[in-house]
């Protein structure tokens, strides 16, 4: 397990700002949002291929990734890259996101593997019983939950629909888009995991806020900006309270297949 102090954050924030600045084109639509997808719990794993304690947590995330009621996301941090193995999926963007959760809890360090459930419940990725307990707690909490539906229109367009199912919600949140791959198998030749073959599931390749949300119904088409040299298999959307607070709803879609229209 590696602990990193808050001094690492300055460089991360600069790159995160650049990522957010990359615009996505949106077009408002008229009409009534569709019925919400089944409630989905977002499980974020902060991991690294250079972390010797992470492969067990990577395996656990793979087990969660097959569940329909969970959006499992593997976010690879970059601070292990300096220990001999540069993780090909690591980014300052995900290190920054983890460090914002650190600020939220007032902790003096971040660590891997760490799991955050619905932006609120934290656990060690190597403690399955603790992780499952946090998931159960999150699934029982329906306060402020919203109806959220995501539809694939084409290779480059998705439709986001949000219904205001809790009229009492008067906060401010962000709509965040995520592109992620199904899985990657990597032979590690250097660093703490030298000689191991590591399988990572639901590897995040892009995470970016696209709009603010204040509790109103939404029906929006988003044109996706593809990653250079990569076409992630899945796209997801979740709504998270400002300041990286609680996640209120989520939905995901397979971008490889167009569903037939009836």
Domain containing 103 — which CATH number?
3.40.30.10
Digit-coded pLDDT (tens) for 69-124? 999 999 999 999 999 999 999 999 999 999 999 988 887 888 999 999 999 999 99
Given a cut of 50, whether residue 4 has pLDDT beyond it is no
Split into its structural domains, the chain has a count of 1
Digit-coded pLDDT (tens) for 27-81? 444 344 444 557 899 999 999 999 999 999 999 999 999 999 999 999 999 999 9
143 in Cβ contact with 249 (< 8 Å)? no
pLDDT at 168: 55
In a domain, 109, yes or no: yes
Average pLDDT over residues 145-153: 90
203 in Cβ contact with 178 (< 8 Å)? no
Q: Mean pLDDT over all residues of the chain?
A: 84
In a domain, 262, yes or no: no
Under DSSP, the state recorded for 258 is P
In a domain, 115, yes or no: yes
In a domain, 95, yes or no: yes
Provide the residue range defining the domain that includes 101: 12-254
DSSP for 68-98, written as a single string: TTEEEEEEE-STTGGGT---TT--HHHHHHH
In a domain, 1, yes or no: no
Backbone phi, psi, residue 24, to 5°:
-120, 135
What is the Cβ-side half-sphere exposure of residue 29, based on CA atoms within 13 angstroms? Answer: 14
pTM for the whole thing?
A: 0.85
Rounded Cα gap, residues 259 and 163, in angstroms: 22
């Amino acid at each position: 397990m590696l602990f990193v102090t808050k001094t690492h954050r300055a460089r991360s924030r600069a790159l995160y700002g650049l990522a957010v600045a990359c615009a996505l084109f949106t077009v408002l639509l008229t009409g009534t949002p569709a019925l919400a997808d089944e409630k989905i719990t977002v499980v974020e794993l902060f991991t690294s291929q250079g972390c010797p304690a992470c492969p067990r947590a990577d395996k656990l995330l793979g087990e969660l990734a097959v569940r329909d009621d969970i959006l499992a996301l593997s976010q690879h941090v970059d601070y292990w890259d300096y220990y001999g193995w540069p993780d090909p999926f690591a980014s300052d963007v995900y290190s920054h996101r983890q460090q914002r959760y650190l600020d939220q809890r007032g902790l003096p360090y971040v660590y891997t593997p760490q799991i955050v459930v619905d932006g609120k419940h934290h656990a060690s990725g190597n403690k399955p019983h603790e992780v499952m307990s946090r998931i159960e707690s999150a699934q029982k909490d329906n306060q402020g939950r919203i109806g959220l539906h995501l539809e694939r229109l084409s290779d480059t367009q998705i439709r986001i629909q949000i219904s205001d199912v809790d009229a009492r919600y008067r906060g401010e949140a962000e709509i965040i888009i995520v592109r992620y791959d199904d899985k990657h198998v990597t032979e590690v030749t250097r660093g703490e995991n030298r000689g191991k073959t590591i399988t990572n599931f639901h590897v995040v390749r892009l995470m970016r806020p696209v709009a603010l949300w204040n509790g109103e119904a939404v029906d929006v088409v988003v044109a996706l900006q593809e990653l250079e040299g990569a076409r992630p298999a899945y796209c997801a959307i979740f709504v998270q309270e400002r300041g990286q607070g609680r996640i209120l709803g989520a939905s995901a879609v397979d971008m490889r297949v167009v569903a037939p229209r009836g």
